[in-house]
Structure 1
Amino acid sequence: MDHLASPLTISLLARAARMSDRSYLRHFTARNGTSPMRWVVTQRIAASLPLLESPEGTVEEIAAAVGFESAATFRHHFGRVMRTSPTAYRRSFGRGVA
Structure 2
Amino acid sequence: MTIGDLHEGLERILKDAEAINGGADSNAEDLGRMARYVAEIRSALTELNELTAGPGRSTEQAAVLSSLASRFWTLEGRVKELRNDSESRGEKKGKQWASF
In our comparison, the structure showing a higher alpha carbon Rg is 2
Q: For the superposition of Structure 1 and Structure 2, which TM-score range results when normalised by the shorter chain?
A: 0.3 to 0.5
TM-score by length of 2: 0.33
The structure with higher relative contact order (CA 8 Å, sep 6+) is: 2
